[in-house]
């Protein structure tokens, strides 16, 4: 039986995408479409991604920029 990741685990995968896949540093802006193109390669389901995104926003690891864009914060970079 597959294990459902916690929101924190999903948020950490999102940070990994920012830093490792997209070579991001604090201040890097990514659109939702950037994530959508690779989340399945990182074994992240859409529902888990949404939970992780909300968790990361709550922890201030990322910030909502505008529209469907998100910014990696210094705290998020350090956490990654």
Q: Is residue 75 domain-resident? A: yes
Q: Is residue 1 domain-resident? A: no
Give DSSP secondary structure letters for 36-74.
HTTGGGGT--HHHHHHHHHHHHHTTSEEE-STTEEEE-H
Q: Is residue 43 domain-resident? A: yes
Distance, in Å, from the CA atom of 6 to the CA atom of 9, rounded to the nearest integer, reads 5
Judged against a pLDDT cut of 90, whether residue 10 lies above it is answered with yes
Q: Is residue 29 domain-resident? A: yes
Note down the domain range covering 63. 7-79
- pTM, entire model: 0.91
Q: Please write the tens of the pLDDT for every residue from 11-59.
A: 999 999 999 999 999 999 999 999 998 988 888 898 999 999 999 999 9
Q: Count the domains in the chain.
A: 1
């Amino acid at each position: 039986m597959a294990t459902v990741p916690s929101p924190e685990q999903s948020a950490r995968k999102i940070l990994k995408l920012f830093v490792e896949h997209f070579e991001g540093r604090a201040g890097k802006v990514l659109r939702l479409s950037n994530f959508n193109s690779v989340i399945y390669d990182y074994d992240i389901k859409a529902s888990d991604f949404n939970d992780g995104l909300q968790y990361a926003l709550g922890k201030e690891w990322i910030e909502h920029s505008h529209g469907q864009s998100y910014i990696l914060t210094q705290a998020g970079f350090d956490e990654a």
